[in-house]
Amino acid sequence: QSVLTQPPSVSAAPGQKVTISCSGSTSNIGDNYVSWYQQLPGTAPKLLIYDNNKRPSGIPDRFSGSKSGTSATLGITGLQTGDEADYYCGTWDSSLRAGAFGGGTKLTVL
């Protein structure tokens, strides 16, 4: 059982916006920055967001991140069928002295 909680699945139509939540506690999200990863079917994960809201080079601005207290949110606008993937949040847990991932959220673009 992960220390970070994500909804198992979300869905939306092409062109629409979706948000994925990641809930934690004061020892992880509350104390540390959050990152987000996209895992397309059959491929390795890829970094989407780091430092709560920064995008690496090459990641479109359709993807955004935010954090408030002990929760974080990934937003995706202008949904495309190619965005269908599993999305994971990640952070450090100061009590565990180790990192952690959320359980993952499967995005379906209807």
Kindly tell me which residue out of 26, 47, 78, 80 binds other proteins, with binding defined by CB under 8 A.
47
| Cα(59)–Cα(68) distance, integer angstroms | 23
- Least distance (Å) between residue 34 CB and other proteins: 9
Site for other proteins in 3-32 (CB under 8 A): 31-32
* CA 10 to each of CA 33, 37, 95, 104: distance values in angstroms, whole numbers, following the listed order: 23, 16, 30, 11
For other proteins, which is the closer residue by CB, 13 or 98? Answer: 98
Phi/psi of residue 107, each to 5°?
-95, 125
Q: Which residues bind other proteins (CB under 8 A)?
A: 2, 31-33, 35, 37, 39, 44-47, 50-51, 56, 86, 88, 90-92, 96-104
